[in-house]
């Protein structure tokens, strides 16, 4: 399929695409409805062959809270379905290496919150809003490897913050055949605040202080393996590619204006009564995985499981 917040590693929702209007069974009143919809998604995965095993484990969870939704009236525009909502998202991601006695050593946490206005059109949904993302250290006063002596160890830290408006578009389900469907989406962000705090300051190369925005293109293709409408197994591919954009100041430290991340994920999904489960294998690449005071490129193989409500792809 197509090759969702450097951006990718700080964008918790890169691996599940939300939309409050993926739910086609809800009854939409012409009156405003408050706090009508909530939905959740989460996944965990085991990583292999990442640089310094910094991506040994990855866990993500996200919640969607529909503050208000309403159905407008526009009989003169056939493409305007008239569904609107203002929605809040909150998500968290934890990264862990494998260097302790249980092979699970959390070292970084990423927080993301968004407010967005959604508008459902005839064949797609678009949204515009504001997003805050930040990455913080966990247990930075101890060495990343438990076998390393604490005597003489100098704590390190890496804090990254990206704030700014975004715009996004998500297609409705496209039927390619009776058993094959696809969705595609794109997202762009512009950063009014971008910070990259490194300690010790080894290098300012490719500093996120100079990141001005990003663009992303993603898609998902689903192949239904059963004719049943409930308790259905399927095969899927869900992939994305994104470009992080830096100002010309980054060149003064030997950096580049454009850096790339990608993820290719395939697996089986199961649709139940209240949600879906994905069982997947993925390959993800970060131009900077934020695990060190110096920029480290990392590519990782992942095996994992995801549980998601019907409002997340």
Q: Delimit the domains of the chain by residue range.
A: 7-308
Q: Determine the pLDDT at residue 204.
A: 84
* Cα–Cα distance measured from residue 40 to residue 25, given in angstroms and rounded to the nearest whole number: 17
Q: Determine the pLDDT at residue 187.
A: 95
Q: Determine the pLDDT at residue 287.
A: 93
Q: What's the pLDDT tens digit per position in 158-209?
A: 999 999 999 999 999 999 999 999 999 999 999 999 999 998 888 888 999 9
**Residue 35 has which token pair?**
């706090």
Q: What is the CATH number of domain 7-308?
A: 2.40.160.40
Q: Determine the pLDDT at residue 8.
A: 46
290: left (phi over 0), alpha (psi -120 to 50) or beta: left
The closest of 246, 266, 264 to 256, measured between CA atoms, is 246
Q: Determine the pLDDT at residue 29.
A: 52
The closest of 19, 34, 14 to 81, measured between CA atoms, is 19
The closest of 84, 66, 57, 33 to 309, measured between CA atoms, is 66
* Cα–Cα distance measured from residue 157 to residue 209, given in angstroms and rounded to the nearest whole number: 16
pTM: 0.88
Q: Determine the pLDDT at residue 250.
A: 94
Question: Does residue 279 register a pLDDT over 70?
Answer: yes
For the chain, the maximum distance between any two Cα atoms, rounded to a whole number of angstroms, is 73
As beta bridge partners, residue 161 has 134, 195
Running DSSP on this structure, what letter comes out for residue 178?
S
Q: What's the pLDDT tens digit per position in 83-140?
A: 899 999 999 999 999 998 899 999 899 999 999 999 999 899 999 999 999 999 888 7
């Amino acid at each position: 399929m197509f090759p969702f917040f450097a951006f990718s590693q700080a964008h918790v929702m890169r691996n599940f695409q939300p939309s409050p209007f993926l739910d086609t069974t809800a009854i939409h009143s012409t009156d405003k409805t408050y706090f009508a919809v909530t939905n959740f998604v989460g996944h965990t995965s085991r990583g292999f062959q990442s640089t310094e095993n910094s991506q040994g484990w990855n866990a993500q969870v996200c919640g969607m809270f529909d503050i208000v939704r309403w159905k407008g009236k526009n009989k003169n525009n056939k493409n305007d379905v008239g569904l609107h909502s203002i929605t809040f998202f909150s998500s968290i991601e934890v990264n862990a290496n494998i260097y302790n006695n249980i092979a699970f050593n959390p070292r970084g946490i990423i927080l993301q919150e968004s407010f967005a206005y959604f508008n459902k059109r005839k064949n797609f949904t678009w949204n515009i809003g504001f997003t805050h993302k930040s990455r913080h250290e966990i247990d930075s006063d101890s060495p990343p490897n438990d076998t390393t002596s604490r005597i003489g160890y100098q704590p390190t830290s890496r804090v990254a913050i990206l704030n700014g408006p975004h715009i996004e578009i998500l297609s409705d389900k496209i039927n390619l055949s009776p058993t094959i469907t696809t969705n595609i989406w794109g997202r762009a962000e512009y950063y009014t605040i971008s910070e990259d705090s490194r300690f010790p300051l080894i290098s300012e190369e490719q500093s996120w202080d100079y990141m001005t925005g990003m663009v992303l293109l993603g898609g998902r293709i689903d192949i239904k393996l059963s004719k049943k409408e409930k308790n259905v197994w399927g095969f899927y591919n869900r992939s994305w590619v994104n470009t992080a954009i830096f100002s010309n100041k980054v060149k003064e430290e030997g950096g580049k204006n454009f850096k790339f991340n990608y993820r290719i994920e395939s697996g089986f999904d199961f649709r139940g009564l209240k949600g879906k489960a994905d069982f997947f294998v993925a390959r993800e690449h970060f131009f900077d995985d934020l695990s060190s005071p110096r920029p480290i490129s990392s590519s990782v193989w992942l095996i994992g499981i995801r549980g998601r409500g019907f409002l997340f792809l």
